[in-house]
């Protein structure tokens, strides 16, 4: 059984990594799109607070452009940690989604602490001492993360099922996602309560890190937490919950992408390439006969004059 459980965990971890990398590559390999920024753009530095841009200067192309990466971080870190945009635009949702997300962040930290505890345990050849700093911190994050996560998931489920505005837009997968994550939070919590303040999970993490694949958790809740926890890790990046990857692109590559196309730049080269992509849109004013035409060719055609035979 131990081998089977470890096999599941390893496979799910590999799926997670592959799915995240694949998603990243999928977005990264898409062609350079036209600019579609939305202000405020965080790296505009002093102008960011009111939404200004370098377009506010005359002859802007003659000025050196220095995107302010610190300003981006100042915006992005609170956005990721505290979901600032939801708090601003939808405070009622924030009351539910913030504990849900923050609970997950705490649980990611908890995973790190479990790994640290497992390593310490392996080196010492004995279990962590109850009352020690690492033991206490692990227990505190485990309990805090799961409780916040459960409260958030319950709040979100309630909203999905009861809110008239949301009901119509809720699909079976949304409910399953919340139930799945809530079940994992509950099992981790039960494991923490019933199995030596996450001592059982620390033992399992040690066995995963050090390939002690014969090890099998003695506590049923811990074993169940491992099974469902592994599955949820593999499941998340295969769903729309992969927005934790995509949000990087929606902000950096779309909302905040104000990189101008300067003469002789890499962008200009890419644009030159894309203008040679085939354009097969078939409306009468574009390419009704399905000819081999590039974007460059259709862009310099004048259908109004063509219609008149000029």
Shorter beta-carbon distance to other proteins: residue 59 or 126: 59
Instruction: Single out the residue of 195, 180, 172, 178 nearest to residue 99, CA to CA.
Output: 178
By CB under 8 A, tell whether 309 contacts other proteins: no
Please identify, among the stretches 45-53, 123-131, 203-211, 225-233, the one whose residues bind other proteins according to the rule CB under 8 A: 45-53
Of 6, 47, 75, 206, which lies in the binding site for other proteins, with binding defined by CB under 8 A? 47
Signed CA dihedral, 98, 103, 104, 105: sign only: positive
Q: Output DSSP code: residue 219.
A: S
List 5, 12, 41, 178, residue binding other proteins (CB under 8 A): 41
Site string for other proteins, 150-169 (x = CB under 8 A): ---------------xx-xx
Q: Which of 14, 30, 161, 214 binds other proteins (CB under 8 A)?
A: 30
- Between residues 62 and 125, which has the closer beta carbon with respect to other proteins? 62
By C-alpha distance, which of 178, 215, 13, 218 is closest to 111?
Answer: 13
Residue 51 touches other proteins, criterion: CB under 8 A: yes
CB nearer to other proteins: pick between 218 and 278 = 278
Query: Between 136 and 253, whose beta carbon lies closer to other proteins?
Result: 253
Q: Are the beta carbons of 6 and 213 closer than 8 angstroms?
A: yes
| Contact residue for other proteins among 55, 63, 214, 291 (CB under 8 A) | 55
Q: Is 227 in the site for other proteins (CB under 8 A)?
A: no
Q: Which of 32, 140, 193, 227 binds other proteins (CB under 8 A)?
A: 32
Write down the least CB distance from residue 37 to other proteins, Å: 7
Burial (CB count <10 Å: 0-12, 13-18, 19+), residue 44: buried
The runs of H, that is alpha helices, within 58-132 are 69-82, 84-89, 91-124
Sites for other proteins among residues 235-254 (CB under 8 A): 240, 242-243, 246-247, 249-251, 253-254
Q: Is the Cβ of residue 10 or residue 244 nearer to other proteins in the bound state?
A: 244
Q: Residue 176: helix, strand or coil by DSSP?
A: helix
Judged by CB under 8 A, the chain residues 66 through 125 that form the site for other proteins are 79, 83, 85-86, 88-90, 93, 97
Among residue numbers 168 through 197, which ones bind other proteins (CB under 8 A)? 168-174
Round to whole Å and give the CA distance between 123 and 134.
14
How far, in Å, are 6, 19, 76, 236 from residue 23 at the CA level? 26, 6, 20, 12
SS3 of 144, please? helix
Radius of gyration of the chain, Cα coordinates, nearest whole angstrom: 26
């Amino acid at each position: 059984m131990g081998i089977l459980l470890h096999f599941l965990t390893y496979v799910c971890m590999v799926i997670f990594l592959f799915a995240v990398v694949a998603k990243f590559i999928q977005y990264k390999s898409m062609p350079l799109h036209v600019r579609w920024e939305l202000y405020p753009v965080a790296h505009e530095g002093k102008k960011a607070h009111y939404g200004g841009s370098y377009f506010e200067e005359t002859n802007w192309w003659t000025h050196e452009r220095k995107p302010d990466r610190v300003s981006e971080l100042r915006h992005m870190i609170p956005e990721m940690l505290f979901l600032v945009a939801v708090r601003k635009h939808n405070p009622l949702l924030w009351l539910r989604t913030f504990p849900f997300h923050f609970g997950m962040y705490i649980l990611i930290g908890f995973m790190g602490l479990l790994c640290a505890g497992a390593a310490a345990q392996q080196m010492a050849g004995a279990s962590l001492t109850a009352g020690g700093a690492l033991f206490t911190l692990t227990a505190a994050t485990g309990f805090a993360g799961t409780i916040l996560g459960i409260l958030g998931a319950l709040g979100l489920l309630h909203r999905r099922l009861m809110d008239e505005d949301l009901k119509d837009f809720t699909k079976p997968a949304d409910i399953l996602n919340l139930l799945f994550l809530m079940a994992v939070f509950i099992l981790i919590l039960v494991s923490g309560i019933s199995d030596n303040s996450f001592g059982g999970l620390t033992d399992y993490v040690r066995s995963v890190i050090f390939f002690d694949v014969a090890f099998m958790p003695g506590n049923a809740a811990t074993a169940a937490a491992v099974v469902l926890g592994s599955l949820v890790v593999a499941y998340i990046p295969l769903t729309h919950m992969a927005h934790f990857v995509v949000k990087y692109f929606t902000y950096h590559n779309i909302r905040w992408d104000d990189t101008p196309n300067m003469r002789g730049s890499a962008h200009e080269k890419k644009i030159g390439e894309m203008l040679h992509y085939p354009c097969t849109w078939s409306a009468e004013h574009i390419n009704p006969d399905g000819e081999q035409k590039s974007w460059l060719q259709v862009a310099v055609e004048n259908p109004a004059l063509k219609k008149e035979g000029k």
